[in-house]
């Protein structure tokens, strides 16, 4: 199949510059949106590039050799990312997740991790710093990531069967190298490790039990396997509701195979519903953003590769923080207090609840507005 022109809306530049209050107030660490949700989690995309072409995220026919990724000058520098993260921490963020694209493709990403690891909450506590990766470079980089201050990793792995995995990543990458990366990450202490499987009905749902069995037998209870419902993120993956396998069915299959019992959530805003194996062999999680919306306690913000702030994974508009990081007002650069106040205003006005609205209506009833793409903002 030949490459075709990418018809998706380019939201990399669709952003408004957030207003800066004339009199900035100091961040209190207790910022809430209009639905009473606190700001606790910042997901930072460090690159829009990926070496996989997964059909549900970056299909090859749209993201081929002629696709124009962001130029280097557009990307936030490590210093700009760290400055922005520090301002979010002042507002109450205590968890940072590095995403992409594939974040390990960002040159010297270990330097960024070291800078972020030096940050502290207002109470003087270290942050929870993690990274989501497709695992292709993990075996090579795991030790350096650990040494730089990364605490744990989440690895995307959509199939155990090599043929299915190669077909889904669409670049003929072998599953054995991802499995080796997980082993190395476990060995160097990047724990607890989570493995995310996006379940697409009719494509890889037959891999649910085999992958769970492999994780139980070869990685042990320290590695948590999570199953994610195939989501309608962006406009490039041709999403259809009949390709969604409800998480309730995933749990039912695993219960029949191994026996499960539900667990309580660790923290408020946790996306995965947890279940333990009855024999003590660890736990699994299911993320049900299609069939069981969890907008009500969503405490996550997303920072794109070139500094756009998105308040929802399904957003169609960003807020341009880079314009403030690099801009001036009245002949002087914006101060930390200026930018923190602008962030505070943006979050305080937030009322996003796309998944709840989608659950209440049929997907076909949703407005046909373009949404930000997964490879650009991370999951």
For residues 316 and 371, give the distance between their C-alpha atoms in angstroms, rounded to a whole number.
4
Give the CATH number of the domain where residue 336 resides. 3.20.20.70
Residues forming a β-bridge with 32: 38
DSSP one-letter string for 294-334: -GGG--EEEE-TTSEEESSTT-S-EEESHHHHS-EETTEEP
Query: What tens-digit pLDDT sequence spans the chain (379 residues)?
Result: 444 444 443 555 567 899 998 877 778 888 999 999 999 999 999 999 999 999 888 889 888 988 889 999 999 999 999 999 999 999 999 999 999 999 999 999 999 999 999 999 999 999 999 999 999 999 999 999 999 999 999 999 999 999 999 999 999 999 999 999 999 999 999 999 999 999 999 999 999 999 999 999 999 998 999 999 887 654 445 557 778 899 999 999 999 999 999 998 877 667 789 999 999 999 999 998 777 766 778 899 999 999 999 998 777 788 999 999 999 999 999 999 999 999 999 999 998 776 656 555 544 434 455 555 555 666 5
Show Cβ contacts of residue 255 under 8 Å, excluding neighbours closer than 6 positions: none
The span from the first CA to the last CA of the chain, in angstroms, equals 28
Identify the pLDDT of residue 363.
44
Domain-located, residue 5:
no
- Structural domain that includes position 188: 15-377
Measured at the alpha carbon of residue 164, what is the angle toward residues 163 and 169, in degrees to the nearest 5?
100
| The total number of structural domains that make up the chain | 1
Domain-located, residue 10:
no
For residues 287 and 349, give the distance between their C-alpha atoms in angstroms, rounded to a whole number.
26
Domain-located, residue 109:
yes
For residues 227 and 230, give the distance between their C-alpha atoms in angstroms, rounded to a whole number.
9
- On whether the CB atoms of residues 134 and 99 are closer than 8 A, the answer is no
pTM, to two decimals: 0.89
Domain-located, residue 137:
yes
- Tell me the two tokens of residue 105: 């493709």
Identify the pLDDT of residue 367.
47
- On whether the CB atoms of residues 54 and 170 are closer than 8 A, the answer is yes
DSSP 8: S
Identify the pLDDT of residue 366.
46
Assign 367 to helix, strand or coil. coil
Residue 315 has a CB neighbour count (10 Å cut-off) of 20
Q: What is the greatest pairwise CA distance in the chain?
A: 67
State phi, psi for 92 to the nearest 5 degrees. Answer: 120, -5
For residues 212 and 226, give the distance between their C-alpha atoms in angstroms, rounded to a whole number.
9
Identify the pLDDT of residue 354.
66
Domain-located, residue 4:
no
Show Cβ contacts of residue 118 under 8 Å, excluding neighbours closer than 6 positions: 149
Domain-located, residue 107:
yes
Per-residue b or e along 282-314, where b marks 16 or more CB atoms closer than 10 Å to that residue's CB: bbbbbbbbbbebbbebbbbbbbbbbbbbbbbbb
C-alpha closest to that of 92 among 266, 268, 264: 268
Domain-located, residue 6:
no
Domain-located, residue 9:
no
C-alpha closest to that of 277 among 192, 183, 209, 179: 209
C-alpha closest to that of 284 among 259, 307, 313, 312: 259
Show Cβ contacts of residue 216 under 8 Å, excluding neighbours closer than 6 positions: 258, 277, 281, 282
């Amino acid at each position: 199949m030949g490459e075709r022109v990418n018809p998706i809306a380019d939201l990399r530049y669709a952003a408004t510059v957030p207003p800066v209050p004339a009199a900035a107030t100091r961040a209190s660490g207790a910022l809430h949106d209009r639905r009473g949700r606190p700001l606790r989690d910042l997901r930072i995309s460090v690159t829009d590039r990926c070496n996989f072409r997964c059909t549900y995220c970056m299909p090859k026919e749209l993201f081929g050799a002629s696709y124009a990724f962001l130029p280097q000058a557009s990307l936030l520098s490590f210093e700009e990312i760290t400055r922005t993260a520090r301002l979010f921490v002042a507002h109450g963020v205590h968890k940072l997740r590095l995403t992409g694209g594939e974040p390990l493709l960002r040159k010297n990403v270990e330097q960024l991790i070291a800078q972020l690891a030096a940050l502290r909450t207002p109470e003087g506590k270290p942050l929870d710093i993690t990274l989501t990766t497709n695992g292709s470079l993990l075996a090579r980089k795991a030790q350096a990531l650990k040494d730089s201050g990364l605490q744990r990793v989440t690895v995307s792995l959509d199939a155990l069967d090599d043929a299915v995995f190669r077909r889904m990543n669409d670049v003929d990458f072998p599953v054995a190298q991802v499995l080796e990366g997980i082993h190395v990450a476990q060995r160097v202490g990047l724990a607890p490790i989570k493995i995310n499987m996006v379940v697409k009905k009719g494509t890889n749902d037959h891999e649910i039990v085999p992958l769970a069995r492999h994780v139980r037998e070869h990685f042990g209870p320290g590695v948590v396997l999570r199953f994610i419902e195939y989501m309608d993120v962006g406009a490039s993956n041709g999403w259809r509701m009949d390709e969604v396998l409800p998480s309730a069915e995933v749990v039912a299959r695993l219960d029949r195979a191994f026996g499960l019992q539900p667990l309580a959530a660790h923290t408020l805003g946790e996306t995965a519903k947890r279940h333990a194996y009855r024999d003590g062999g660890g736990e699994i999680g299911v993320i049900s953003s299609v069939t069981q919306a969890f907008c009500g306690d969503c405490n996550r913000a997303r920072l794109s590769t070139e500094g756009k702030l998105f308040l929802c994974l399904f957003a169609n508009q960003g807020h341009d923080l880079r314009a403030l990081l690099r801009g001036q007002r009245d002949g002087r650069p914006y101060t930390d207090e200026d930018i923190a106040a602008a962030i505070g205003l943006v979050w305080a006005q937030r009322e996003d609840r796309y998944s709840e609205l989608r659950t209440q209506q049929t997907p076909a009833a949703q407005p046909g507005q373009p949404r930000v793409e997964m490879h650009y903002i991370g999951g």
